[in-house]
Amino acid sequence: MMIANQPYNDLPFLPPNIELETKPILKLCIEARTALGALQQAGALIPNQTMLINVIPLLEAQGSSEIENIVTTTDKLFQYADNMETADQATKEALRYRTALYQGVTAIKERPLSDNTAIMICQVIKGVDLGIRQTEVVLKDGFGEVVYTPPSGKITIERLLQNWTQFLHEDDDLDPLVKMAVLHYQFEAIHPFVDGNGRTGRILNILYLIDKGLLNLPILYLSRYIIEHKASYYQGVKGVTQYGDWQTWLTYMLTAIKETSEWTTAKILAIKQLHEYTAEYVKQHASKVYSRELIDVIFEQPYCRIANLVDKQIAKRQTASNYLKTLVEIGVLEQTQAGKEILFINPKLMQLLQSRDNMISEV
């Protein structure tokens, strides 16, 4: 039995000794898989995949960091996305989350997802060389009361992580979405690092879905759902720990996947619509500077630099500057100064990314 102020060294090994895939859970699995499939299809409709890879992970980075009370703005994230050195600490930490996600995607193409992947991810997020914690930690609620003490002792933690990795690769009949939810609970219950466990666990969710072929790109913005249903998230975790209530937890996670997939699909389709509208507008009002490559660049992220056009070989520096200033003149972009650097903002794209809905306003 778990006692809040004592290390939970008796955390049961996986798999759980209980029926997980009840009829209601299997029904939710089907709905979540359908929504994930639609997300995959929506992503494939975007000709320039860089647009998605740049934009959605930054929203996820912001949301996942916010869950841990590391608060920055969408505006800051995109402004410093290409140069984080002068950013404030919270923005740097959120940008490191994005980097960890990218590196995780690369890593699982080269070697199997495992506890070593988790260590690498946490090191990137925190920006330090760390390993499995050797000190005891306690988790407290907003009133300072201890609500959970994770397992203590490096040998115990390593044994639990080995079991976690073994279950991850075990050839069983569990639906991958159910398995992901179980793995996520267990990782957070083990709490293997001094800090960064929540963010590491949320990246592992995305990597697992990619590893299982349920996602091609890291574009599932799960943190948004967790922020909006934070109390239910922690109640679900607590229910498993205290009462073995896996059904409530699985229902929460499957619903999160379903609703997040639907929301992200709608956001991607709105970005595509805005991209197409902007291309037509530039054709009509500035045909001499129009090219598909130019429109793609100003949609890869809301902040654009002259160097972005040069790097894409769209134009040399002076001509690139003229192109962007022409887009400012016709109302597609806005120009701003950040220190010595000139930035060109795509305000309609920024507004779309920051809004809860997907309404597109015309230039």
Q: Are residues 33 and 177 in the same domain?
A: yes
User: Which of the pair, 276 or 141, is modelled with greater confidence?
Assistant: 276
* Residue 144 CB contacts under 8 Å (≥ 6 apart), including other chains: none
The neighbouring-strand residues paired with 303 are 345
Query: Which range (5-14, 82-91, 172-181) has the least confidence?
Result: 82-91
Tokens of 225: 């759902």
Both 103 and 247 in a single domain?
Answer: yes
Q: Would you state the pLDDT for residue 296?
A: 93
Does residue 293 share a domain with residue 190?
no
pLDDT digits (tens, 9 = 90+) for 294-343: 999 999 888 899 999 999 999 999 999 999 999 999 999 999 987 778 89
**pLDDT at residue 280 in the model:** 96
Q: Which of 232, 266, 300 delimits the end of a domain?
A: 266
pLDDT higher at 178 or 56: 178
> If we measure between CA atoms, which residue out of 66, 348, 332 comes closest to residue 202?
66
Q: Between the CA atoms of 200, 206, 209 and 210, what dihedral angle is there, to the nearest 10 degrees?
A: -110
| 154 located within any domain | yes
Q: How high does pLDDT run on average in the chain? A: 91
| Domain end call among 206, 237, 266 | 266
If asked whether residues 96 and 131 sit together in one domain, one would say yes
| Residue 80 reports pLDDT greater than 70 | yes
Q: Say whether both 92 and 199 belong to one domain.
A: yes
Per-residue pLDDT tens over the stretch 39-66: 999 888 877 777 777 778 888 888 888 8
Q: What does pTM read for this prediction?
A: 0.91
Domain containing 295 equals: 286-354
Q: Which of 332, 356, 321 is nearest to 74 (CA)?
A: 356
The reply to whether 247 and 294 lie within a common domain is no
Q: Is the peptide bond before 15 cis (omega within 30 degrees of 0)?
A: yes
For the residues 233-258, what does the mean pLDDT come to?
96
Asked whether residue 61 is domain-assigned, the answer is yes
Per-residue pLDDT reduced to its tens digit, 193-233:
999 999 999 999 999 999 999 998 888 888 889 989 999 99
pLDDT above 90: residue 107: yes
Q: Do 186 and 304 belong together in one domain? A: no
Q: Are residues 174 and 99 in the same domain?
A: yes
The total number of structural domains that make up the chain: 2
Q: Quick one: which of 227, 222, 298 has its CA closest to 257?
A: 222
